[in-house]
Each structure stands twice: as C-alpha cells, then as structure tokens.
C-alpha cells in the first residue's frame, strides 16, 4: 500500500482520464483493485453516453459489482483509484459497495466529497465511509482537468475559477 504502488495504479486511472479527454468527455478515470490486483478501469462518458451520472468511478463499480461483492464476502481488500475526488453519487456507490479505500488525485472544489465529515451522516453511511488517500498524481490530474475547462470556458469558467483558487493554496 505504499505511495509507489498507489502511483502505479493511479497511472492506469490517469490513462483512462486521458482517453476520456481525447473523446471530449470530462477527463476523469478510475481503476479498481482487489487484494492488490488490478480488476479493471474506465473513464468518464457523460458526453459520449449523454448521461450525466456516467462518472468513471460509478462505471467501474457497476461493471465489477459482482467481483466487489464476492471479494467483500471473502474479506478481501477493495480499493478504488480515481483521478478526481469523488462526487456525491460516486461516494454513495463507494459506500454502498463497502469499498475499503479510495485513492484520489485532485480535490474537486466544486463537487467533491473527500473532505466531507462522515460524522454528519446516519450510522450506516459513516460506518462504511472509506479510508481516503488524496493527492496521488494531483498535479497531472489538475493540469488535464483545467485544460479541458479552459477549452470550454463558456460552460466551465466558474468551476475553473474554483480550481484555480484552490491551486493558489498548494
Ligand atoms: Zn461522480
């Protein structure tokens, strides 16, 4: 579970983010790991599928849901790598699927849940809240996301400002 290993798996997620970028989707990628092994990966397809909930993390979880369930029943360790701090929907899916640990790249100052205090939630949610490790390949993730936003200033200008404000504090 060292940083080098986290970087290795984040690179797989980041490659999915790059693929998303090249097809015009929001550049976010995710990869699933069970007991140390890579299970699969996917990228955001909100534009391609014209479906706003098609986030990388949600797609990966859905695709490998039965593998996750099997792993949890065998008390194996389930980890999700994502280039961007998960949103409310994806954190919900992470909690429902009892994912043990989430490793993310960049904080999302607009929609991220990584900095949320789970004590504010009811017991089931706070009890299944994952361990979180942030900042893995943060700068690469930030650069790709903000490049995407800069190219779509009209739609993304406000969110881009939030990202740029955040960066000043790094
Ligand atoms: Zn999401």
Q: Which pLDDT belongs to residue 1?
A: 57
Distance 58 CA to ligand 1 centre (A): 6
Distance 85 CA to ligand 1 centre (A): 8
Distance 100 CA to ligand 1 centre (A): 17
Beta-sheet pairing, 37-43 with 101-106: unpaired
> pLDDT tens digits for 132-153?
999 999 999 999 999 999 999 9
Residues belonging to the active site: 57
Distance 65 CA to ligand 1 centre (A): 16
Distance of CA 118 to the CA centre of its chain: 18
Sign of CA dihedral 61, 99, 33, 3: positive
> pLDDT tens digits for 34-80?
999 999 999 999 999 999 999 999 999 999 999 999 999 999 999 99
pTM for the whole thing? 0.97
Query: How far apart (Å, rounded) are the C-alpha atoms in residues 59 and 41?
Result: 9
Beta-sheet pairing, 29-34 with 131-133: unpaired
Residue 118 — pLDDT band, cuts 50, 70, 90?
very high
Position 84 pLDDT exceeds 70: yes
Neighbours of 78 (CB within 10 A): 24
What residues are paired with 43 via a beta bridge? 29
């Amino acid at each position: 579970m060292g940083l080098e290993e986290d970087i290795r798996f984040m690179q797989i997620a980041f490659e999915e983010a790059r693929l998303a970028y090249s097809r015009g989707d929001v550049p976010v990628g995710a990869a699933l790991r069970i007991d140390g092994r890579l299970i699969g990966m996917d990228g955001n397809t909100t534009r391609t599928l014209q479906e706003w909930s098609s986030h990388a993390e949600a797609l990966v979880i859905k695709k490998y849901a039965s593998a996750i369930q099997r792993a949890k029943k065998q008390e194996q360790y389930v980890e999700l790598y994502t280039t961007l701090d998960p949103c409310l929907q994806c954190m919900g899916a992470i909690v429902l699927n009892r994912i043990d640990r989430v490793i993310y790249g960049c904080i999302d100052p607009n929609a991220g849940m990584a900095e949320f205090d789970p004590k504010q939630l009811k017991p089931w949610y706070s009890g299944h809240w994952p361990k979180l490790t942030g900042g893995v390949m943060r700068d690469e993730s930030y650069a790709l996301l903000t490049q995407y936003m800069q190219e779509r200033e009209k739609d993304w200008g406000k969110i881009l400002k939030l990202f740029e404000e955040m960066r000043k504090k790094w």
